Chains A and B, each alone.
Chain A
Amino acid sequence: MRRVRSFFGGIHPKDAKKSSSSTPIQHLSAPETLVVPLLQHAGLEAKPVVAKGDEVLKGQVIAEAHGAISAPVHSPVSGKVLAIEPRAHQSGHSITAIVIENDGNDAWVERNGHSDPIQLDAKTIIERISEAGVVGMGGAGFPTALKLVPPKGITLDYLIINGCECDPYSTSDARLLIEYPEDIILGAQLMAKASGARKIVIALAETASEAYAALKEKAGSIEIVTMPSKYPGGGEKQVIQCVTGREVPSGGMPHQVGALVQNVATAWTVARALRDGEPSISRVVTVTGGSVAQPQNLMVPMGASLEDLIQATGGFSQRPGKVVMGGAMMGGAQFDLQTPVIKTTTCVLAFSEAESRTPDATPCIKCARCVDVCPAQLLPLKLEAFGMNERFDDAREFGALDCIECGACDFICPAKRPLLQYIRFAKMEIIARDKKPS
């Protein structure tokens, strides 16, 4: 197993994976009502193709991709459409969702699987991935089929399957690697064939010895490497830097350096779509945190609510202060336990009230720990000051747009300053100004 070079900066948050990583994935039986948002991906909302009162089958398309960047949405159960209306969404916005009443019959739509999907040609593989609504399941949610087609004239040297899962709480990818290594390898091979990538590399966390053991027998010509065990080792740019020694150009795309990165859960979903004909209607979600009675990984149908997940893990063990979807470092805090799981929900965290306290910010003492940990080699303390003083041209000049929003600077700051908030603010303002015709 090759140990790769390191990336810039990084932090070592206390590992909180153990409570959920050791037990096998449990299947959450589909709840009575599911709220399936039209937006579970990057890009535009899908367009509903069913109406209130319609009967739907499990796996049936209920909303079609709409616009250049979008993905279709499928029904996670068989049942009846109760409503199509705005509901609470992981993003914090209210987003239109198709509410489905589960009839409990588990009646599938006709599935279009293939016993040996690697025989299919590249075009067909991409079509099926697109039809199955597969999107980047590490959190970004970019439609996978679009990512698999590099611009003309570009050859991809590497398909990197990202299994680093650097968030200190999340273990869903680790469990998938341990329990479904064949699926992940098949998914990787299919995506390599579809994209024309020359070499497949699976990147694991240094600590993932169990996953490595599960993979190595079956890996064949696929190379398995371990990433340095620091956060954000699972960042796309960091994985590329470590595995290939190349840096994605500022403002550019991974394909410009011949790399394509796909998440482990995406590979698993691709394999299921092509071999079994099952669209992207379920995923593994880590449910953990100080208020969760039995932290574990659940196989969850999209559209199940936070409340469903919490109940399945034994309910709240103590009063929660904060409930987060998508990891402790980059996830979003939720205000409504009815918010549903979507394709990008890697992790649900219920923090106790003590864990949820936000410390007061004190003056910056320029200790530069934020500079030391920044994986983009920025000066976060400077960017924070520029954001605060609305000096957006300076923020741009100091590389605000190169910030990957990993939050390492916030984490390490001994003065507890909201560095990332001000950097995000500066980024949003810069982008908004660029769009506005002057």
Chain B
Amino acid sequence: MDDLKLIVAPSPHIRDTDTTEKSMFATLIALLPVVAASVYFFGLDALRLVLLSGAAAVATEAIFQRLRKQPIRVGDGSALVTGVLLGLIVPPSLPSWMVILGAVFAIAIGKQVFGGLGQNPFNPALVGRAILTASFATAMTTWRTPFDAITAATPLALGEVSGRIPDLFFGSVAGSLGETSALAILLGGIYLFYRGYLDYRIPVGIFASVIVMSLITGQSVIFHLLAGSLLFGAIFMAVDPVTTPVTKGGRWIFGFGVGLIVMLIRTWGSYPEGVAYAILLMNAVTPLINRWTRPRIYGQGVKTSE
């Protein structure tokens, strides 16, 4: 072995096998039950919106990386996750060109202008939705019932009506594509938690503050947990690592904050639903939360006998 050439690299010399791609594809797998439920309830419109949105997001990401003379990294799955998420939070009858536009904006304005993966302050899928809501208010608030496709109001707009809870749980209500079936969302959440990709602090924080706020305002706890996009938001949107706090304490604060703002909007705001805005608002204060919740470093502030 005279020609032996050894690699010299700094420690550590071993690494965990997990990668960013694996976490992204785990998220996509976790979204499968949600996609399946939305197809079941809303038919091929669901597939149309999710696929178009996903494809538009990936294409936009690739074009931007090309323009910015960066390696094309769409294979990491992050743009696809954003696209699929956006497809799942729009009404079933949204025109195709609108969802494509939303996905382009989500990646371009929500992510790439800040520097791409890891640099964006706001959840890109929610940025896309916010832009669509601002631009096409009617299309973005035109809901329809599952199966028979009759235009209808969402449960949140109607206000709580007894007897709807099983419908809310299984998802046979009007609403955005992926947000109606609590069962499908929970299945995805359990999978992500099991794989170690879901930090429980943010969803639990959201649920806790929604429960407390419902009790304080005398509303139905179950209704507020299951209605609208709360569950979907808590399990797939509010846990986006890029736009949420890095400290454990910060994740609790983030969760409590989202739940609180959701309930303020639902109870006193002029919109029936506020999950998207609640998460975006908390995204905005994430750098501050990180600053306030820095853990005490080992050995700092320790008193000795000397």
Contacts and interface: CB of A to CB of B under 8 A. Distances in A.
- B partners with A: yes
Interface of A: 8, 11, 13-14, 92, 154, 168, 237, 241, 246-252, 256-258, 316, 319-324, 327-335, 337, 349, 351, 355-356, 358-359, 362-368, 371-372, 375-379, 381-382, 398-399, 402, 405, 407, 410-416, 418, 420-421, 424
Nearest to A408: B12
Contacts of B294: 379, 398
B231 to A, nearest CB: 22
Contacts of A329: 11-14
A240 B73 CA distance: 44
B299 interface: yes
Contacts of B297: 250, 376-378, 399, 402
Contacts of B244: 366
A410 B117 contact: no
Contacts of B73: 362
B23 A367 contact: yes
A418 B9 CA distance: 11
Nearest to B251: A368
B67 interface: no
B304 A337 contact: no
A397 to B, nearest CB: 10
B12 A402 contact: no
Contacts of A11: 16
B158 interface: no
Given A256-B306, A366-B246, A414 B18 contact: yes
Contacts of A411: 12, 14-16
Contacts of A330: 11-12
Contact of B119 (A241, A333, A363, A381): A363
SS class of chain B's interface: helix, strand, loop or mixed?
Answer: loop
A248 B299 contact: yes
Contacts of A413: 15-16
Contact of B9 (A14, A256, A322): A322
Given A363-B20, A405-B11, 17 more contacts: A92-B8, A248-B299, A249-B300, A250-B297, A251-B299, A252-B304, A321-B7, A322-B8, A327-B11, A331-B11, A351-B13, A366-B246, A375-B298, A377-B296, A379-B290, A410-B12, A413-B15
A349 B149 CA distance: 65
Nearest to B12: A407
Nearest to B70: A363
Contacts of A412: 16, 18
Contacts of A322: 6-9, 13
B241 A366 contact: yes
Given A249-B302, A372-B248, A377-B295, A333 B9 contact: yes
Nearest to A330: B11
Contacts of B76: 362
A410 B302 contact: no
Contacts of B248: 371-372
**Which 5 pairs show the lowest CB-CB distances between chains A and B?**
A407-B12, A368-B246, A250-B299, A363-B118, A367-B241
B1 interface: yes
Contact of B6 (A154, A246, A333, A362): A333
A154 B305 CA distance: 9
B133 interface: no
B116 interface: yes
A333 B20 contact: no
A415 B119 CA distance: 14
Interface string B123-135: 0000000000000
Contacts of B16: 11, 13, 411-414
A317 to B, nearest CB: 12
14 contacts: A329-B11, A331-B11, A334-B6, A351-B13, A362-B73, A366-B241, A366-B246, A377-B295, A379-B247, A405-B11, A407-B11, A411-B14, A415-B19, A421-B10
A368 B13 contact: no
A376 B300 CA distance: 10
A205 B93 CA distance: 60
A154 to B, nearest CB: 8
**Most interface-central of B6, B18, B241, B242 (chain A CB within 10 A):** B6
B68 interface: no
Nearest to B247: A371
A349 B16 CA distance: 18
**Most interface-central of B11, B16, B78, B117 (chain A CB within 10 A):** B11
Interface in B226-248: 241-242, 244-248
B4 interface: yes
Interface in B3-43: 4, 6-16, 18-20, 22-23
Contacts of A92: 8
Contacts of A358: 7, 9
Given A252-B304, A414-B20, A324 B299 contact: no
Contact of B304 (A257, A335, A351, A368): A257
A249 B299 contact: yes
A416 B18 CA distance: 9
A13 B17 CA distance: 10
A138 to B, nearest CB: 15
A335 B6 contact: yes
Interface in B281-306: 290, 294-300, 302, 304-306
B12 A333 contact: no
Contacts of A248: 298-299, 302
A407 B16 CA distance: 12
Contacts of A420: 10-12
Contacts of B299: 237, 247-252, 376, 402
Nearest to A421: B10
Contacts of B116: 363
A355 B6 CA distance: 12
A416 B19 contact: yes
B1 A328 contact: no
